[in-house]
Amino acid sequence: MKTRWILFVPLAITALLFGAFIYRLTTPPETLIQSQWINKPMPLFDLPPATAGVEGLKSSDLADGRPRLVNVFASWCIPCRAEAPQLEALKAAGVPIDGIAIRDRPDDVAQFLRENGNPFDRIGSDVQSSVQIALGSSGVPETFLIDGKGIIREQIQGVILQEQVPQIVAKLEKMK
Amino acid sequence: MIAELGLALLWMAAALACLSLVAGSLYLRSGKGDLAALVRPASVAQGVLTAAAFAMLIALFVRSDMSVELVARNSHSLKPMLFKVAGAWGNHEGSMLLWLTILGLSGALVAIFEKRLREDTLVATLAAQAALSLGFFAFLLFSSNPFKRLPIAPPDGQGLNPLLQDPGLAFHPPTLYVGYVGLSVAFSFAVGALITREIGPAFARAMRPWVLGSWIFLTLGITAGSYWAYYELGWGGWWFWDPVENVSLIPWLAGAALLHSVSVTATRNALRAWTVMLAVVAFSMSMVGTFIVRSGLLTSVHSFAVDPERGTFLLALMAIYIGGALTLFALRASSVAEGKKFALLSREGSLVINNLLLTTILALVLLGTLYPIVAEAMGEKISVGPPYYNKVAGPLALILCLVMVAGPLLAWRKDDGRKLWSRLPAAILAGSAVLFGLILFGGKVGVLPLLGMTVAGIVAVASLAPLWGRNLRRTPLPTWGMVIAHFGVAVALAGMAAESAFIKERLVAAAPGETVTVDDFTVKFVGVRPIAGPNYTAVEGTLIATTPSGHSFTLRPEARTFPGLMGGAPTETNEAALLTRPGGQLYAVLGQPVTGADGRADRYQLRLWWKPLVWWIWLGGALIAIGAALSLLGRAQLLALWHSHRARKAEGRYA
């Protein structure tokens, strides 16, 4: 009996569908979510101190003319420990660094600073992650490069690597 | 030893699946009967052994055996027992084993009970089912062994995603899986019948209970899943058109179409190729759905195990199964004569339109779900949201409901248009009453909700029409089933339309002692207190809702905090408090504390909704499942015999 070609249509549609699947599996999607705030001023916030002896952080602190880093971290975050030496190196290179501690407790933050050093000028405590969410930050650690006017210029997701330290210093120099 | 025994059982079951496939294929080639005799017992043994392996896995979770990697990653010794057991399938490997268990047990049931099919078609069906199992055995044994031991056992496990720690969700995946995998039997029947070219009423009758059965489970699974999302996620909605929701809806739509077309094939020996095609599509959509969720192809608000490597394995499997079945269909379907002819205005005609509408909705939902992938292949980032789905699926669903009004009132083969109208006055009257009532007293109502409620009124009355003038005691169960299921559609539709038309929302920051009004309720925020659960801490709010008639009800919404897993951040969930009234539900969520100007957190965010008729949505879902279950009971031969016996007795008594 003659084969009717229309009966192959479902097979053809399926083949197309699978083509799309294969494409997607072989080229995994961009998983990093970039903040919508790049080239915009910091959202307004005013965070209480995260631990005794270190000032809290408010958005107006960030527009004092000096380009700086804002590091989003937490004491419960293991990669943040791995990042600590790079922050120390940046601090040593004269970069001002402020911190936002996410869902943290004062004692834990103090403990974290004792163990890993304290490169921060100020640390705000973001207990509800509300500032983190407002910043469009999707995890810890995450670092924002802020120019002297308090405008976010770049977002680094994940741990700052050793080789990135000189690049960051250079970028902040250029913003001056 | 339990883990090793489980793995050994899996290998034995896989070997038996291999035996069924080889013996079945050789028999179909040579026609030697003694080979066929092997297939049935092998299928039964395979199902039993797979189920035993799954029981071993549950035992490992119950004993919190942390030396097994899967248990260590997905369980915790302090978890309540229900969630320990549910932990067995609340993860990738375990859910694949559950999938295989249901696949094997369905094969075993077919092997034991199926008496209607020719020997060669049955063997071909069982061989197809074995081939399906074999692929998933390979997947489990080579790429995701659930019984893998850890070199060093950790002191305790990681727990289970707190969002999934809900009794409803513990049973949600198994319910959906029974539905998905039940469709695998329909798929295997279709493949078997294509191989032996036996497509006709006998084949359709053999397939129908499986389609009905799996569709019942899909209906229950989707209804329960929707209710879970409604009260657990705390966002107040009942359907989000999320990819994970869509991939359960798509097989349901295919199953609904198949359910109706298989009836046409069983009763009238028509639509044969179409029924076979739908059987292939329905299970294919179940596999595609599972694949999409498991492979990380689409991101979703629901979190599941995601692994592209495994995605590739699954994709290859599916290409073989779906591609193979569709090729077989393309080569063989033209040799299947379409069967008996019918006029457009007939029961068959209405079912054809029903099928076309259902498959169109299916295609549009599938398109919306997959479009982001295709768009990204072309360098665009797009997400498709509820507005698209509501716009394309809403109107089609309403037309589908109108077809549902007419269909059951039409005669098979050929009917008269004027006669159809004469059967409808009560339904049209009901619809007009709803429409005018809403226009006069309803205030501002959107077009779609307005039409929705009108159509619901028409369907509610018309769905009962097949019972008019009948002796209710002698009405066959499948007719009762159809009436109840169609009435359920009307109930659910009314709930959806009323909720979207008349919902009231209040979002406030309230201090203890403050009073808020939402619709007719006065809600007093009494205060909050901390409470401790078995593995979480929570803040519980106390609200007293008072109706205009002076009745008071206490609502206790909770904001729960689960400790972080492996030193990670804690997770927060919201337990909404629901007050169910005849007219709808009051839905309360306790949000974050609000810090005042003086820095003290003295107020709390409260979110209050009044949702008219919202619970009708799930009541409707339950009625649809009950209706389908009655049809299934009526179709099962034993019950049919019992029923006719009873009917004869009744006749004797009253005649």
**Cβ of residue B509 closer than 8 Å to a chain A Cβ:** no
Task: State the pLDDT confidence band at A1, using cuts at 50, 70 and 90.
Answer: very low
Kindly give the pairing relationship between strand A97-102 and strand A68-73: parallel
A15/B323 touch (CB, cutoff 8 Å), yes or no = yes
d(CA B354, CA B261): 9
Task: State the pLDDT confidence band at A128, using cuts at 50, 70 and 90.
Answer: confident
Least confident of A158-167, B221-230, B322-331, B562-571: B562-571
d(CA B285, CA B362): 10
Q: Where in chain B is the domain with CATH 1.20.120?
A: 166-341
Give CA separation, A154 vs A71, A144, B541, in Å: 12, 6, 41
A74 contacts in chain B (CB < 8 Å): 569
Give the count of alpha carbons within 13 A of B503, CB side only.
18
Give the count of alpha carbons within 13 A of B617, CB side only.
25
Residue B301 has pLDDT above 60, yes or no: no
Least confident of B282-286, B396-400, B434-438, B643-647: B643-647
Angle A151-A66-A60 (CA atoms, 0-180°, nearest 5)? 55
**Cβ of residue B311 closer than 8 Å to a chain A Cβ:** yes
d(CA A66, CA B81): 57
B299 contacts in chain A (CB < 8 Å): 29
d(CA B459, CA B466): 12
**Cβ of residue B596 closer than 8 Å to a chain A Cβ:** no
The nearest CA of chain B is from the CA of A57 a distance in Å of: 15
B308/A25 touch (CB, cutoff 8 Å), yes or no = yes
Q: What is the mean pLDDT of residues B123-133?
A: 95
Least confident of B24-28, B161-165, B174-178, B228-232: B161-165
Residue B336 has pLDDT above 80, yes or no: no
Q: What is the pLDDT of residue A79?
A: 83
Q: What is the mean pLDDT of residues B124-150?
A: 91
B570 contacts in chain A (CB < 8 Å): 103
% of chain B beyond a pLDDT of 90: 45
Q: What is the pLDDT of residue B360?
A: 95
Q: What is the mean pLDDT of residues A146-150?
A: 85
d(CA B491, CA B219): 15
Most confident of B210-224, B294-308, B418-432: B210-224
d(CA B544, CA A132): 34
Q: What DSSP element (H or E) covers B487?
A: helix B477-502
B312/A25 touch (CB, cutoff 8 Å), yes or no = yes
B288/A11 touch (CB, cutoff 8 Å), yes or no = no
Q: What is the mean pLDDT of residues B487-508?
A: 92
A7/B333 touch (CB, cutoff 8 Å), yes or no = yes
Q: Which residues are CB-contacts of B299 (< 8 A; sequence separation ≥ 6)? A: A29, B243
d(CA B369, CA B487): 29
The nearest CA of chain B is from the CA of A92 a distance in Å of: 30
How much is the mean pLDDT over chain B?
86
* Token pair for B18: 């291999």
Q: Yes or no: say if A80 and A117 are a contact pair by the CB < 8 Å rule.
A: no
The nearest CA of chain A is from the CA of B327 a distance in Å of: 7
Domain boundaries, chain A: 40-174
Q: What is the pLDDT of residue B150?
A: 85
CA pseudo-torsion sign B388, B389, B394, B399: positive
For B137-166, b/e burial (b = at least 16 CB within 10 A) is bebbeeebbbbebeeeeeeebbbbbbbbbb
d(CA B106, CA A38): 55
CA pseudo-torsion sign B49, B192, B196, B201: positive
Find which of B199, B275, B326, B381 to mutate to test the A interface (most A CBs within 10 Å of its CB). B326
Q: What is the mean pLDDT of residues B401-419?
A: 87
Q: What is the pLDDT of residue B655?
A: 36
**Cβ of residue B290 closer than 8 Å to a chain A Cβ:** no
CA pseudo-torsion sign B220, B222, B225, B230: negative
The values of phi and psi at residue B414, to 5°, are -160, 135
**Cβ of residue B334 closer than 8 Å to a chain A Cβ:** yes
Query: What one-letter code names the amino acid at B398?
Result: L
Residue B303 has pLDDT above 50, yes or no: no
Give CA separation, B232 vs B227, B336, B575, in Å: 8, 49, 6
B297 contacts in chain A (CB < 8 Å): 21, 24-25
Q: What is the mean pLDDT of residues B547-560?
A: 90
d(CA B117, CA B189): 10
The values of phi and psi at residue B433, to 5°, are -60, -45
B329 contacts in chain A (CB < 8 Å): 7, 10-11
Between B300 and B268, whose confidence is greater? B268
Task: State the pLDDT confidence band at B469, using cuts at 50, 70 and 90.
Answer: confident
Task: State the pLDDT confidence band at B642, using cuts at 50, 70 and 90.
Answer: low
Q: What is the pLDDT of residue A31?
A: 47
d(CA B482, CA B493): 17
d(CA B402, CA B458): 8
Q: What is the pLDDT of residue B653?
A: 46
Query: What one-letter code names the amino acid at B314?
Result: L
The nearest CA of chain A is from the CA of B296 a distance in Å of: 9
DSSP sequence for B591-619: EEEEE-TTS-EEEEEEEEEEEETTHHHHH
User: Coil, helix or strand for B263?
Assistant: helix
Give the architecture-level CATH label for domain A40-174: 3-Layer(aba) Sandwich (3.40)
* Token pair for B349: 């005609």
Facing A2 at nearest CB: one of B280, B333, B334 = B334
Find which of B322, B328, B566 to mutate to test the A interface (most A CBs within 10 Å of its CB). B322
Residue B306 has pLDDT above 60, yes or no: no
* Token pair for B43: 């299928």
A75 contacts in chain B (CB < 8 Å): none
Q: In residues, how long is chain B?
A: 655
Residue B291 has pLDDT above 50, yes or no: yes
A45 contacts in chain B (CB < 8 Å): none
Residue A30 has pLDDT above 80, yes or no: no
**Cβ of residue A36 closer than 8 Å to a chain B Cβ:** no
Torsion-angle region of residue A102: left (phi > 0), alpha (psi -120 to 50) or beta?
beta
**B-contacting residues of A 152-171, CB under 8 Å?**
none
A20/B334 touch (CB, cutoff 8 Å), yes or no = no
A102 contacts in chain B (CB < 8 Å): 569
Question: In B323-433, where do the E strands start and end?
Answer: none
A22 contacts in chain B (CB < 8 Å): 315
Residue B300 has pLDDT above 50, yes or no: no
% of chain B beyond a pLDDT of 70: 89
**B-contacting residues of A 59-118, CB under 8 Å?**
74, 76-78, 102-103
List pLDDT tens digits, range B215-251.
Answer: 999 999 999 889 888 887 777 788 888 888 898 999 9
Give CA separation, B364 vs B167, B346, B360, B361, B386, in Å: 33, 27, 6, 5, 13
Residue B600 has pLDDT above 70, yes or no: no
Least confident of A73-82, B6-15, B126-135, B563-572: B563-572
Q: Report the topology of domain B166-341.
A: Four Helix Bundle (Hemerythrin (Met), subunit A) (1.20.120)
User: Coil, helix or strand for A122?
Assistant: strand
B331 contacts in chain A (CB < 8 Å): 3, 7
User: Coil, helix or strand for B542?
Assistant: strand
Q: What is the pLDDT of residue B296?
A: 61
d(CA A69, CA A92): 13
B327 contacts in chain A (CB < 8 Å): 11
The closest alpha carbon to B116, from B51, B178, B200, belongs to B200
**Cβ of residue B277 closer than 8 Å to a chain A Cβ:** yes
In chain B, DSSP finds a helix count (H) and a strand count (E) of 19, 10
The values of phi and psi at residue B199, to 5°, are -120, 115
B273 contacts in chain A (CB < 8 Å): 7
Q: What is the mean pLDDT of residues B344-360?
A: 92
- Helix H, strand E, coil C: the string for A4-56 is CHHHHHHHHHHHHHHHHHHHHHHCCCCCCCCCCCCCCECCCCEECECCCCCEC
Q: What is the mean pLDDT of residues B34-40?
A: 87
**Cβ of residue B599 closer than 8 Å to a chain A Cβ:** yes
B319/A18 touch (CB, cutoff 8 Å), yes or no = yes
Task: State the pLDDT confidence band at B210, using cuts at 50, 70 and 90.
Answer: very high
* Residue B568, beta-bridge partner list: none
Facing B334 at nearest CB: one of A3, A14, A25 = A3
B315 contacts in chain A (CB < 8 Å): 18, 21-22, 25
Task: State the pLDDT confidence band at B324, using cuts at 50, 70 and 90.
Answer: very high
Task: State the pLDDT confidence band at B639, using cuts at 50, 70 and 90.
Answer: low
A23/B297 touch (CB, cutoff 8 Å), yes or no = no
B277/A10 touch (CB, cutoff 8 Å), yes or no = yes
How many CB pairs below 8 Å do chains A and B form together? 76
Find how far residue B461's CA is from the centre of its chain.
27
Query: What one-letter code names the amino acid at B635?
Result: R
Q: What is the pLDDT of residue B160?
A: 60
d(CA B97, CA B147): 11
- Helix H, strand E, coil C: the string for B231-251 is HHCCCCCCCCCCHHHHHHHHH
d(CA B84, CA B91): 12
Task: State the pLDDT confidence band at B379, using cuts at 50, 70 and 90.
Answer: low
A10 contacts in chain B (CB < 8 Å): 277, 280-281, 326, 329-330
d(CA A74, CA A109): 7
The nearest CA of chain A is from the CA of B605 a distance in Å of: 13
Residue B565 has pLDDT above 70, yes or no: no
Q: What is the mean pLDDT of residues A57-70?
A: 87
Facing A76 at nearest CB: one of B288, B322, B567 = B567
d(CA A92, CA A165): 11
Task: State the pLDDT confidence band at A18, using cuts at 50, 70 and 90.
Answer: confident
**Cβ of residue B395 closer than 8 Å to a chain A Cβ:** no
List pLDDT tens digits, range A74-117.
Answer: 988 888 888 899 999 999 988 999 999 988 888 889 999 998 88
**Cβ of residue B331 closer than 8 Å to a chain A Cβ:** yes
Q: Yes or no: say if B298 and B375 are a contact pair by the CB < 8 Å rule.
A: no
Nearest CA in chain A to B278: A10
Q: Round the CA-based radius of gyration of chain A to a whole number and report it.
A: 22
List pLDDT tens digits, range B68-96.
Answer: 888 888 887 777 888 888 888 878 888 88
* Token pair for B122: 């049955």
Task: State the pLDDT confidence band at B351, using cuts at 50, 70 and 90.
Answer: very high
Nearest CA in chain A to B319: A18
Tell me if ipTM is over 0.90. no
Query: What one-letter code names the amino acid at B508?
Result: V
Q: Yes or no: say if B7 and B145 are a contact pair by the CB < 8 Å rule.
A: yes
A10/B323 touch (CB, cutoff 8 Å), yes or no = no
Kindly give the pairing relationship between strand A123-126 and strand A97-102: parallel
The closest alpha carbon to B244, from B298, B174, B189, belongs to B298
Q: Which residues are CB-contacts of B395 (< 8 A; sequence separation ≥ 6)? A: B448
B326/A24 touch (CB, cutoff 8 Å), yes or no = no
Q: Which residues are CB-contacts of B5 (< 8 A; sequence separation ≥ 6)? A: B56
Burial classification of residue B175, based on how many CB atoms lie within 10 Å of its CB (0-12 exposed, 13-18 middle, 19 or more buried):
buried
d(CA B282, CA B252): 8
Q: What is the pLDDT of residue B305?
A: 44
Q: What is the pLDDT of residue A36?
A: 64
Q: Yes or no: say if B140 and B97 are a contact pair by the CB < 8 Å rule.
A: yes
